[in-house]
Amino acid sequence: MIHPTAIVDPKAEIDSDVEIGPYSIISGSVQIGKGCVIGSHVTVEPFVTISRDCHIFQYASIGAKPQDLKFKGEKSYLKIGRGTVIREFVTINRGTGAGGGVTEVGEDNFLMAYTHVAHDCKTGRKVILANNATLAGHITIGDYATIGGLVAIHQFVRIGSHAYIGGKAAVVKDIPPYVIASGDRARLHGLNSVGLKRSGFSPSTLSALKKVYRIFFRIGLTINEAVERAKAEAEQVPDVVKFIEFIKSSNRGVTR
């Protein structure tokens, strides 16, 4: 059902069972999938694809031009994955030509009120952004990561899967997968053990991750030394390999 006060461009592709609330504006070159609910006073700009079963609450701004002085009006896109919930006053910008041209919000994400996702960001599955979390441009967030309220993340930073970042942290370097980080300038505080247990990680995998975490962050080795030590001592557990490869591939450096 589309409310009679909503303004919907006839070129928008909207599934027949989509609900659009009062005074919302849906531009052309927009696709909205089956089962979506768009609240009141929502603005959806051009070149946005919203997959099925998403719920966007009132006053959200979806797909506006990127806040990047290098942006020159090139065509760019925003894709929102299936089952994502976007709460009040959330802002998500399209990509830029220099950053690949696409901002992507993954499946089953939960973006709480006032969060901001800037141009060319990519989030994985079941990512949670708590109130007022702010992502600068070109940020990548892995599956099942949780970003606390009022967290600010610097551009080009990567957040690993299953990581947990406590509220009000300023994140300027990569956060490895499976860890907890917090503090005004984010620092690591061990594995996200509770979250990993809830996600079904086996005791043997948790033990291996703890061993490798200690090699990297508790005995004073350089990153290169830790990589070699971890290769020699860690079992070839897939999550351990992922942890090591994430750190090896860091360009901004890793939070410690």
Which pLDDT does position 83 carry in this prediction?
98
pLDDT grade for 41, boundaries at 50, 70 and 90: very high
Contact present, 241 and 172 (Cβ < 8 Å)? no
pLDDT at 146 over 80: yes
Which pLDDT does position 243 carry in this prediction?
96
Domain housing 44? 7-138
How much of the chain exceeds pLDDT 70, in percent? 100
Which pLDDT does position 231 carry in this prediction?
82
The kind and range of the H/E element at 233 are: helix 223-233
Q: At 151, is the secondary structure helix, strand, or coil?
A: coil
Nearest partner of 113 among 57, 166, 153, 66, judged by Cα: 57
Last residue of a domain, one of 94, 109, 138: 138
**119 catalytically annotated:** yes
Say if residue 107 is in the same domain as residue 13. Answer: yes
Contact present, 46 and 27 (Cβ < 8 Å)? yes
Distance CA 53, CA 83 (A): 5
pLDDT per residue as tens digits for the range 8-40: 999 999 999 999 999 999 999 999 999 999 999
Spatial strand order of the sheet with 19-20 comes to 19-20, 37-38, 55-56, 85-86, 110-111, 128-129, 146-147, 164-165, 179-182, 187-191
Mean pLDDT, the chain, as a whole number? 97
Say if residue 104 is in the same domain as residue 200. Answer: no
Catalytic residue, chosen from 41, 63, 99, 119, is 119
Say if residue 17 is in the same domain as residue 85. Answer: yes
pTM: 0.96
pLDDT per residue as tens digits for the range 85-96: 999 999 999 999
pLDDT at 235 over 90: no
Distance CA 108, CA 110 (A): 7
CATH number, domain containing residue 221? 1.20.1180.10
Catalytic residue, chosen from 120, 160, 195, 239, is 120
Bridge partners of 77?
A: 102
Contact present, 180 and 146 (Cβ < 8 Å)? no
pLDDT per residue as tens digits for the range 195-222: 999 999 999 999 999 999 999 999 999 9
Q: Establish if 79 belongs to a structural domain.
A: yes
Contact present, 86 and 104 (Cβ < 8 Å)? no
pLDDT at 233 over 90: no
**195 catalytically annotated:** no
Which pLDDT does position 4 carry in this prediction?
98
Say if residue 132 is in the same domain as residue 30. Answer: yes
Nearest partner of 19 among 35, 42, 31, judged by Cα: 35
Query: CA dihedral defined by 158, 160, 166, 171, rounded to 10 degrees?
Result: -20
pLDDT at 252 over 90: yes
Say if residue 123 is in the same domain as residue 14. Answer: yes
Q: In 38-61, which positions are buried (b, 16+ CB within 10 angstroms) versus exposed (e)?
A: bbebbbbbbbbbbbebbebbbbbb
Which pLDDT does position 129 carry in this prediction?
99
Catalytic residue, chosen from 99, 137, 148, 160, is 137
Say if residue 123 is in the same domain as residue 213. Answer: no
Which pLDDT does position 51 carry in this prediction?
98
> Considering its fold, how many domains does the chain have in total?
2
Say if residue 98 is in the same domain as residue 206. Answer: no
- Which residues contact residue 174 at a Cβ distance below 8 angstroms, ignoring those fewer than 6 apart? 157, 158, 159, 160, 246, 247, 250, 252, 253, 254, 255
